[in-house]
Amino acid sequence: MSGFGIVGTGVIAAMHAAAIATLPGARLAAVTDVAGGAAAAFAADRGCAAEPSLDALLARPDIDVVCVCVPSGLHAEVGVRAARSGKHLVVEKPIDVTLAAADRLIEAARAAGVTLTVISQHRFDPGLIELKRLIGDGALGRLLLAEASTKWYRTQGYYDSAAWRGTWAMDGGSLMNQGVHYVDLLRWCMGPVTEVTAVCATQAHQIEVEDTALAIVRFGSGAVGTILSSTAAFPGFPQRLEVTGADGTVIVEDGRIVRRAFGPSAGTDPGAGAGPGAAGAAADPAAIDVASHAAQIADLLAAVEEGREPAVDGQAGRDALEIVCAVYESARTGRPVRLTGS
């Protein structure tokens, strides 16, 4: 039996608790939060303990894995302390908001010999698993072009709901928070990015960060692509990844393949049902499916058991963050940004 602790009992913590509850051999032991009463209310609803501090939670011998569900700019700070206490780590995306913080967290996990996974739950969506398999099997041929698009909508009230939202220090903008999921999927499917040219804008919200980011990217393979992320696209649309190879194209919307056409007899296939339109997280940050979080947490437990790296390790989280940071730097300087592409 693996015991879990959750740090930060806000919106996404509920998803972690629900995911843990679906996993045989996993049990939520305790939670903690800095906001008065938040942990106690969360714990009462779920039959676990509420600890008064992070130190108290980390001191519990019945906790093997800590889910880091605090604001993004605190992920490394909390994660490093948990790693030093010998706890395995499920860290929400993005890994943190700076590469220096990401490096501190990855190094702390390595030094402590604990396993770190950074949430990118859509890698476990059926359509993404299938797309990755098709690419691996060479069904699309040499990869040429990819487009990752997150046209979502968030109200000003969403940004006003917590002081950390929409700040550079703790959150980042639409790309760092919402778009990072499909940045990771783009990187996962297409390989390393070597160059980014971007523009960002803040148009529909009173926030210091961008609510729309657009980028053109070049991959190490020679393929090219685009990234679009917005929280200003009323009413919100499915997240979309299109991958085109020399032999065909696959389009994924909200984790399902909605169109595929490849091979000599290239036909079309609606895939496993039409996309769900503007439902889900397109307009509501809490409306995400528990199955993919559960699959990623199950992978972390299997990785610990088998002594292997998890499917989405710290480096993968860092790779996605590096692309996001390059988009911001290019938008700021008006120049293309080169990445190592490793």
Ligand X SMILES: NC(=O)c1ccc[n+]([C@@H]2O[C@H](COP(=O)([O-])OP(=O)(O)OC[C@H]3O[C@@H](n4cnc5c(N)ncnc54)[C@H](O)[C@@H]3O)[C@@H](O)[C@H]2O)c1
Q: Which residues bind ligand X (CB under 6 A)?
A: 7-13, 32-35, 38, 54, 69-72, 74, 78, 92-93, 119, 121, 162, 177, 285, 288
Residue 97 vs 337, nearer CB to ligand X = 97
Looking at the Cβ atoms of 140 and 297, the one nearer to ligand X is 297
Closest to ligand X by CB, 248 vs 285, is 285
d(CA 96, CA 105): 9
Q: Which residue number, 74 or 80, has a Cβ lying nearer to ligand X? A: 74
Count of CB atoms within 10 A of residue 6's CB? 31
Q: What residues pair up with 292 in beta bridges, in sequence order?
A: none
Q: Shortest CA distance to 246 belongs to which of 163, 173, 175, 140?
A: 140
Q: Could you tell me the smallest distance in angstroms from the CB atom of residue 24 to ligand X?
A: 23
Nearest approach, Cβ of residue 13 and ligand X (Å) = 6
> How far apart are CB 282 and ligand X at their closest, in Å?
12
How far is 12 from 286, CA to CA, in rounded Å? 7
| Least distance in angstroms from the C-beta of 168 to ligand X | 14
CA 65 from centroid of its chain's CA atoms: 19
Nearest to ligand X of 43, 337 (CB atom): 43
CB closer to ligand X, 179 vs 225: 179
Count Cβ atoms within 10 A of the Cβ of residue 292 and give its class: 0-12 exposed, 13-18 middle, 19 or more buried. buried
Give min distance, CB of 270 to ligand X, in A. Answer: 26
Query: Closest distance between ligand X and the C-beta of residue 86, in Å?
Result: 19
Whichever of 92 and 319 has its CB closer to ligand X, that residue is 92
Contact present, 317 and 118 (Cβ < 8 Å): yes
Residue number of the CB atom closest to ligand X: 10
DSSP 52: S
We find the least distance from the C-beta atom of residue 7 to ligand X, in angstroms, to be 5
Q: Tokens 């657009």 correspond to what residue?
A: 214
Give the whole-angstrom CA distance, residue 10 versus residue 65: 18
Closest CA relative to residue 168, chosen from 332, 341, 34, 334: 332
User: How many H helices and E strands in the chain?
Assistant: 11, 14
